[in-house]
Structure 1
Amino acid sequence: MNSRKLQNIVPFLMSMLGIYVLSLGIVSVVFGRKLFENLSFLQLHGGGTASIFIGIFMIILGNGLRARTRASWYIAIFLILTSLLSILVRVRGFSLIYFDAIGISANILILSLLLKYRKEYIFPSRTIYLPVEGKLALAAISASVVYGVAGTLLLGNQFEPPIHDFYTAVYYTFVILTTLGLGDILPITDTSRLFTVSVTVLGIASFLGAITTFVGPVLQQRMNKVVNVMESMEFTGFRDHSIVCGYTPLCSEFLKTMKSMNIPIVVVVRDLELATALKNDGYIVYREHADNIDVLRKVGLKKAKNIYICSPDDGYNLLVALTIQKFKKQEHLKCKVTAIVNSSKNAEKLEDFCDEIIDVSRVLNDHIMKNKKQEI
């Protein structure tokens, strides 16, 4: 097996190791206490519970390693080292020694591969933006869990059966927070009943808030994709139409004129609010990045007569122009490309990729100078 194939198999091996470590952790937690009553807290939770979380993170980490991000490499090294440590503190005498030996070997194998190909993991990680509502939702859930576990341990004798260990308190808290109500543990005093009701109310409120915060944007994205697909189906019948990539208020009158002349126009913009406003004005809008060749295909670039690049960002305009020029050469298209330049210093950069350049600052300067001459 060559080095490239060996490197590409690392994410798969990491995910498989995660499943293996997760399974060992579950077995240790479920059967460890039953078989050995004199187990220490460190042996049970450090060897079993820790392995469960390590295994879950290893499974999730597979995608990051596949993208060869720098952060995923560091996290993978950390997880492997903690996995080896959890194996060392696992339940002594418990009959998992042979399985642990396999786990140690697999950890060392993947660790050696990661160290060998460490120079390949050079790409930056994508920044995950979490809105304020999301942070508040996570904080509410965390506070509810802490409140539930701490209160359950404090009121341990007021339950039937009594709750005196951390594990059972966590179990009871999640049963109440998720409103499952299995009935195996019951509050037997007024105080414990009121506490259970308060945890239930907190659970319902925090989880509903989290669902609204996290699921809402996902559903919105799905709906936008469906709308884009439906709109792209409309473009299939277009011919000799105009495509406007980006939008600036400078071209608003131009769009109105084109619309009044019944010339079919498709506007491609990135911003949701801007797309909504243009749709309300009666324009056909496709909300995507215009520097994506697949997007340009969907809006009918092959059959378009004119393309206007009108974004207020000259850098973005240049990317769009490069993409269109490359596609024109591949498909031997004859459509005319016109770009609006917001800064004169960027005009030369766009001239090689566009048929016509409209320099806003130069047009404004010529207009002012013309008026000055008339006054003189």
Structure 2
Amino acid sequence: MDLKKLHNAVPFLMSILGIYVLSLGIISLILGRQLLESISFFQLHGGGTASVFIGLFMVMLGGGLKARARVSWYFAVFLILLSLFSIFIRFKRFSLIYFDITAASANILMLFLLLKYRKEYIFPSRMTYLPVEGKIALAALSTAVIYGVAGTLLLGNQFNPPVHDFYTAVYYTFMVLTTLGMGDILPVTTTSRLFTVSVALLGIASVVGSITTFLGPLLQQRMTKVVNVMETMEFTGFGDHSIVCGYTPLCSEFLKSLRSRNIPVVIVVRDLEVATALKNEGYIVYREFADNIEALRKVGLKKAKDVYICSPDDSYNLLIALTVQKFKKQENLNFKVTVIVNSSRNADKFEDFCDEIIDVSHVLNDYMSKSKRELSHIDE
């Protein structure tokens, strides 16, 4: 099989490897429980528990590798090295020699493929753009879990029944962090009770904060979609209205004049702050990219009388003009398209797509020249 064809199969192979490593981890834990007298705590969890988590992360990593994210590539290499280390820890201890040799060979093959095609993984990961609040929330939650598990194991004899194993410590920590409190494990000393209170307080702060941080943006996106649907229903009755694509403060007075003449105006902008400010001024605003033809359809482009393109970016204005002109020809419409050009050198690019071009720098130059002539007449 050509190795080049393997590149597209890397995400799938990583997921298969993850399932295999996960299965070995579960089997190692089951066997390890039966061999507790002959193996150490480190061998049990380093060879068994670690493999379970490594396998889970490998399975979940397939999507990132499919998107060729650079961060996913680094993470995949790191997981493979951890997997090899975990295999080394349990080697000859769990009677899984042949399975471990197979796992080690598969890990080495996957590492070879990742290194061979490392230049293909060049795209940034979405996780890279996690906001600061999200990173703080993740750090706080992780710290709370580590603090709870470590403290529970350290104070194991001060609970009833005593807590001496990792899984019970994790169980107790999450019961306290989530404030569920089943009551099957009780702190019986002052120190353990104060520790439990501190974990509960951390749980309220970190868990609730994390939920708010991660669910807040999702809820906001859903609400934005709902608002857009409601506004789209409002546009259905529009006709002979004006559509303004993009916004710049230069056209604020023009918008006021349209409103004073009772001309219906719909402004299509993407920026949340600009959209909010315009809504507060009483304008009808649709939050979407103005070069999206579906968005323009929703605001009634077929029934529009005029389209004004006036974002501060000429390249974006050109994309909007191309989109509008293409739709205009396809539907055989006759609305007027006007564009505000921010740089004179770009004015000629709009000649084939717009009915009227307003060159801001040219208008400003004419105004300055006129003012200069008037001042000269006054001086004379």
> What's the TM-score bracket when you normalise by the shorter of the two chains?
0.7 to 0.9
Distance 1:71-1:134 versus aligned 2 partners, 3 A rule: closer
Q: Output aligned runs, 1:1-376, within 5 Å.
A: 7-90=7-90, 92-97=92-97, 99-100=99-100, 103-104=103-104, 106-107=106-107, 110-111=110-111, 113-114=113-114, 117-126=117-126, 128-328=128-328, 331=331, 333-375=333-375, 376=377
Whether the 8 Å CA contact 2:39–2:93 is kept in 1: the answer is no
Whether the 8 Å CA contact 2:17–2:55 is kept in 1: the answer is yes
Structure 1 residue 222 displacement after superposition: 0.9
For residue 67 of structure 1, what is the amino acid of its counterpart?
A
Whether the 8 Å CA contact 1:73–1:121 is kept in 2: the answer is yes
CA distance in 1, matches of 2:269, 2:205: 37
Q: Secondary structure at the match of 2:289?
A: coil
CA distance in 2, matches of 1:27, 1:33: 10
Whether the 8 Å CA contact 1:39–1:91 is kept in 2: the answer is no
Structure 1 residue 132 displacement after superposition: 4.0
Structure 1 residue 231 displacement after superposition: 1.8
Distance 1:26-1:291 versus aligned 2 partners, 3 A rule: farther
CA distance in 2, matches of 1:229, 1:135: 32
**Matched residue count:** 376
Distance 1:135-1:95 versus aligned 2 partners, 3 A rule: same
Structure 1 residue 91 displacement after superposition: 5.7
CA distance in 2, matches of 1:28, 1:97: 11
Whether the 8 Å CA contact 1:43–1:91 is kept in 2: the answer is no
What TM-score do the two structures reach when normalised by structure 2? Answer: 0.85
Distance 1:86-1:292 versus aligned 2 partners, 3 A rule: farther
Return 5+ residue gaps in structure 2 as ranges: none
Whether the 8 Å CA contact 1:32–1:91 is kept in 2: the answer is no
Q: Deviations over 1:217-258 (max 9, x none)?
A: 211111101111222233344344322111122212222222
Whether the 8 Å CA contact 2:241–2:304 is kept in 1: the answer is yes
Residue range with higher mean Cα deviation, 337-346 or 113-122? 113-122
Whether the 8 Å CA contact 2:64–2:72 is kept in 1: the answer is yes
Distance 1:350-1:49 versus aligned 2 partners, 3 A rule: farther
Structure 1 residue 313 displacement after superposition: 2.7
CA distance in 1, matches of 2:25, 2:315: 52
CA distance in 2, matches of 1:264, 1:59: 53
Whether the 8 Å CA contact 1:33–1:39 is kept in 2: the answer is no
CA distance in 1, matches of 2:21, 2:112: 18
Q: Secondary structure at the match of 2:285?
A: strand
Distance 1:115-1:190 versus aligned 2 partners, 3 A rule: closer
Structure 1 residue 53 displacement after superposition: 2.5
CA distance in 2, matches of 1:246, 1:261: 21
CA distance in 2, matches of 1:316, 1:127: 27
For residue 43 of structure 1, what is the amino acid of its counterpart?
Q
Distance 1:133-1:240 versus aligned 2 partners, 3 A rule: same
CA distance in 1, matches of 2:241, 2:99: 66
Structure 1 residue 3 displacement after superposition: 8.6
CA distance in 1, matches of 2:91, 2:207: 36
CA distance in 1, matches of 2:39, 2:239: 76
Distance 1:351-1:46 versus aligned 2 partners, 3 A rule: farther
Whether the 8 Å CA contact 1:176–1:196 is kept in 2: the answer is yes
Q: Secondary structure at the match of 2:138?
A: helix
Whether the 8 Å CA contact 1:342–1:360 is kept in 2: the answer is yes
Whether the 8 Å CA contact 1:18–1:58 is kept in 2: the answer is yes
CA distance in 2, matches of 1:309, 1:127: 35
CA distance in 2, matches of 1:214, 1:14: 27
Distance 1:17-1:307 versus aligned 2 partners, 3 A rule: farther
Whether the 8 Å CA contact 1:293–1:324 is kept in 2: the answer is yes
Structure 1 residue 158 displacement after superposition: 1.0
Structure 1 residue 195 displacement after superposition: 1.8
Whether the 8 Å CA contact 1:339–1:356 is kept in 2: the answer is yes
Distance 1:17-1:196 versus aligned 2 partners, 3 A rule: same
For residue 256 of structure 2, what is the amino acid of its counterpart?
K
CA distance in 2, matches of 1:260, 1:73: 58
CA distance in 2, matches of 1:140, 1:244: 45
Q: Secondary structure at the match of 2:152?
A: helix
